[in-house]
Amino acid sequence: MAISSPKILAAAALALAFGSIGRPASGEPRGLGGAQQPTRTLRDAGAGRATPARSADETARSVARLADALKRHPARRVPKEGERLQLYMLDLLEGGTTLLADEPDPGLDWCATPKWSQDGRRIVFAAWSRAGFQGSRIKAIEIRDGLPTCTDLGAGNSPTLSPNGKRIVFQLDAGAEPGAEAGVWLMQADGSERRRISEYHGAPFWSPDGREILINDYSNGPTTTMVINLETKEGDLLKVVGHQIFSWPSWVGPGTLVSALATGGEGDSIALLDVRKPAEAKIIEVLWKRSDDLDITPRWPIYHPETRRCIFIGVEPRKRTLFSFRRGESGRVKRLEPQGYDDWLGGLSFSPDGRYLLFCGNRPAPR
């Protein structure tokens, strides 16, 4: 089913805007498998040159440097009661959780939508007051003079870095910035040269190869998701016959998403999807299905193709818990924490090498 005319125009406008920014050179390998071929170049149209892609070892070293600095200098915990959402980093290899952000600015006690840059050097996220989403600010964590620093990049939410790390796409809400219209916006990685590129409302996500854009709405139930191909300048709503899209899908590789699916209004499975034709998306493989052994509602799945690890949030009536399994071993689902918590757990994201998990929740202070 094709999207309506206004949304077709919005998709075309977004595709044209993003297409002028640049994406990987043509002829690069596409598709899903185990380890994917590294991108050879990322073309920066504004600078008129190709930026060599970093090797997996270089990226892993950058991730390790940032993670080590964050572990040695965790964020200060603000003594405060009430509902909050803090940003954490979980080491999936050695265990241990590190607090990255609690209240980065006074009153901004709700941290969400973290993303690690593909070069491993930076983490971006949004923070706002639980009382007012319109006051959301975009923050960046990186190392300066050997210490982790948190920098303000301006108003906005749901930030995602471009594959080459030079741009950030984000959502700006009405009233967030004086005189600025709501919609999808683009800026330089330092927060400068901000410009609106679409009136469409939703959380935008660049695909790892830069060829596609995913936009998810902010609903709590079945999700409206748009997939935009920057090469064909076409976009459509994501549809899977016989299923609803439940919570936000996320990129796995070119033309491929991982998503929680629902058949009766509530999530009951996690699957890899072929979205080369979004309106006719195909299930590549069902990775996990709800059962009597694990009777939970899956939300916000993410999948790392190199490690073959899938992590998702299991929702029960009174708590939310992080779960993990490896592709081909779905019967061996395990908890990533000793227990679940009655909070607003969300914002799952891998480090580029798959070793660390970023997530947002309200964890009690260690004793």
Quick one: average pLDDT of 177-189?
91
Give me the CATH number covering residue 190: 2.120.10.30
Quick one: average pLDDT of 181-202?
91
- 330 secondary structure, DSSP code: G
- 356 closest CA partner among 57, 98, 112, 151: 98
- 210 secondary structure, DSSP code: S
Residues 148, 165, 220, 195: is their CA dihedral positive or negative?
A: positive
pLDDT in tens, 83-142: 789 999 999 999 999 999 999 999 999 999 999 999 999 999 999 998 776 789 999 999
Instruction: Indicate if the pLDDT at residue 50 is higher than 80.
Output: no
Inside any domain, residue 42: no
pLDDT classification of 351: cutoffs 50, 70, 90: very high
| Integer Cα distance of 118 and 137 in angstroms | 22
Inside any domain, residue 35: no
pLDDT for 14 equals 62
Quick one: average pLDDT of 38-50?
32
Inside any domain, residue 334: yes
Question: In this structure, are residues 35 and 305 in contact, taking their beta carbons and an 8 Å threshold?
Answer: yes
> What are the two backbone dihedrals, phi and then psi, of residue 59, each rounded to the nearest 5 degrees?
-65, -45
* 328 or 72, greater pLDDT: 72
* 175 or 108, greater pLDDT: 108
* 4 or 198, greater pLDDT: 198
What is the number of structural domains in the chain? 1
Question: How high is the mean pLDDT of the chain?
Answer: 84
Strand partners, 313: 299, 322
| Integer Cα distance of 346 and 300 in angstroms | 7
Instruction: Indicate if the pLDDT at residue 230 is higher than 50.
Output: yes
- 25 closest CA partner among 155, 118, 156, 163: 163
Inside any domain, residue 163: yes
Inside any domain, residue 32: no
Question: In this structure, are residues 86 and 360 in contact, taking their beta carbons and an 8 Å threshold?
Answer: yes
Q: How many other C-beta atoms are found inside a 10 Å radius of the C-beta of residue 45?
A: 11
Inside any domain, residue 278: yes
pLDDT classification of 15: cutoffs 50, 70, 90: low
Angle at 226 between CA 222 and CA 232, to 5 degrees: 160
- 321 closest CA partner among 290, 287, 303, 297: 297
pTM here is 0.86
Lowest mean pLDDT among 30-44, 195-209, 262-276: 30-44
Instruction: Indicate if the pLDDT at residue 43 is higher than 50.
Output: no
Question: In this structure, are residues 89 and 125 in contact, taking their beta carbons and an 8 Å threshold?
Answer: no
Inside any domain, residue 290: yes
| Integer Cα distance of 226 and 277 in angstroms | 11
Inside any domain, residue 336: yes
| Integer Cα distance of 115 and 56 in angstroms | 18
| Integer Cα distance of 326 and 349 in angstroms | 16
Cα separation of the two ends of the chain: 54
Lowest mean pLDDT among 2-6, 155-159, 242-246, 269-273: 2-6
| Integer Cα distance of 39 and 54 in angstroms | 9
Structure tokens at 22: 């640049």
Length of the chain counted residue by residue: 367
Instruction: Indicate if the pLDDT at residue 219 is higher than 80.
Output: no
Domain that holds residue 85: 5-20+53-361
pLDDT for 329 equals 81
